[in-house]
Amino acid sequence: MSPSPEPVVSELIELLSLERLEDNLFRGQSRDIGTKYVFGGQVLGQALSAAQATVEDGGGRMAHSLHAYFLRAGDVDHPIVYDVDRTRDGGSFSVRRVTAIQHGKVIFFCAASFQGEEPEAQQHQLSMPEVPRPEDIEPAPAVPAEVMATLPPKVQRWLSRRGPFEFRHVYPRDELNPPKRPPFQQVWFRLSEPVGDAPELHHALLAYASDFQLLGTANYPHGISYYQPNVQMASLDHALWFHRPFRADDWLLYSIDSPSAQNSRGLARGQIFTRDGKLVASTAQEGLIRVVPDSGAAALVPAKE
């Protein structure tokens, strides 16, 4: 029997466990994790949870892909309603469309596809990068109190939170004083406490975690960071493909690159490996990245007007 999760982990699981209002209608609560608006990974995880709850044909159909668009910034002080359209249940695949609504407006929508397990066929994968093991990487040190006191409230809230996931950066970067670097990074991550075995839960947890680290990689060549008050960032879209079974409470390596940034948009791609080198998921995301002259305007104006 798995140990009981720590409160911060159980809070995340509760966040992903939606209230069912009708057959295809769900309500999810929001959680302030230090970001100005609802964290995109929360909406991804909740939308996938809603879609999974409507795949009831049996046969063990699991999500294999999710394609999403973020339309409006979410309000952390209010719940989000998820409306699921049962688009298709075919012989091999099921497709669901999910619309997230808040204050009467659509803030997000996605399509998710599900497939049952099939007999072994052609398989291949790219190799995992050669990196140190997570046990050999020291956790990031806490920001000194005297430095924390000089930071904007938004950044203080983000840095002082205790999140449900642990992160170990293979090549750490000082986000408060970011140097210019090539657009690549590798990050080990895992849920901080063991949880149950349900694969649907681990899929939703990975959807949540996949929004961390990704877009920030597009900042590396430019020496900027989300922590800087004049930098405005927001996810525009997000794609996630599930390849093989995994556990979100065991170490996973997120290997990320950013092939392009242009017109105030950055593109980032990620591959997620188990510690023994199995490629279990792939991601892609484009996001808004603006450097504005007035830091006050960056703090007050939503990234998606």
Instruction: Identify the CATH number of the domain in which residue 179 sits.
Output: 2.40.160.210
Residue spans of beta strands (DSSP E) within the chain: 19-22, 25-28, 62-70, 80-89, 93-102, 105-115, 165-169, 184-191, 231-242, 252-262, 265-274, 279-291
Residue 1 inside a domain? The answer is no
Q: How many domains, the chain? A: 1
Q: Six-digit token pair at 7? A: 């409160």
Share of the chain above pLDDT 70, in %: 92
User: Has residue 248 been placed in a domain?
Assistant: yes
Q: What is the mean pLDDT of residues 161-171?
A: 90
pLDDT above 80 (res 9): yes
From CA 217, how far away is CA 107, in angstroms rounded? 25
H helical segments located in 96-171: 145-148, 153-160
Predicted confidence at residue 300, as pLDDT, reads 41
Task: Compute the average pLDDT of residues 23-46.
Answer: 91
Mean pLDDT (whole number) for 219-236:
92
Domain, as residue range, for 175: 7-117+139-300
Mean pLDDT, to the nearest integer, of 180-198? 96
> According to the model, what pLDDT value does residue 2 have?
44
- Which residues, other chains included, contact 183 with Cβ-Cβ below 8 Å and sequence gap of 6+? 217, 218, 220, 221, 257, 258, 259, 261, 268
Residue-level pLDDT at 284: 98
Active-site annotation holder among 210, 211, 255, 271: 211
Residue 58 located in a structural domain: yes
Is 1 a residue whose pLDDT tops 70? no
pLDDT higher than threshold 60 for residue 303: no
201's enclosing H/E stretch is helix 199-209
**Residue 134 placed within a domain:** no
Is there a catalytic annotation at residue 235? yes
Task: Tell me if 213 sits within 8 A of 254, measured CB to CB.
Answer: yes
Inside any domain, residue 126: no
Task: Inform me whether the pLDDT recorded for 26 exceeds 90.
Answer: yes
The residue annotated as part of the active site, out of 42, 235, 258, 271, is 235
What are the residues facing 186 on neighbouring strands?
A: 255
What pLDDT, in 10s, does the model give residues 98-112? 999 999 999 999 999
Query: Binning pLDDT at 50, 70 and 90, where does residue 289 land?
Result: very high
At 268 the pLDDT is: 98
For residues 16-38, average pLDDT: 91
pTM: 0.92
pLDDT digits (tens, 9 = 90+) for 76-104: 999 999 999 999 999 999 999 999 999 99
Indicate whether 195 belongs to any domain.
yes
Residues 6+ apart with CB under 8 A from 122: none
What mean pLDDT is reported for the chain?
Answer: 90
The predicted pLDDT at position 58 comes to 57
| Residue 169 covered by a domain | yes
**Whether pLDDT at 70 is above 60:** yes
For residue 302, pLDDT beyond 60: no
Q: When comparing pLDDT for 147 and 305, which is higher?
A: 147
pLDDT > 90? residue 242:
yes
* Both structure tokens of 250: 């065991």
- Residue 131 in any domain: the answer is no
Question: Distance (Å, rounded) from C-alpha 161 to C-alpha 34?
Answer: 7
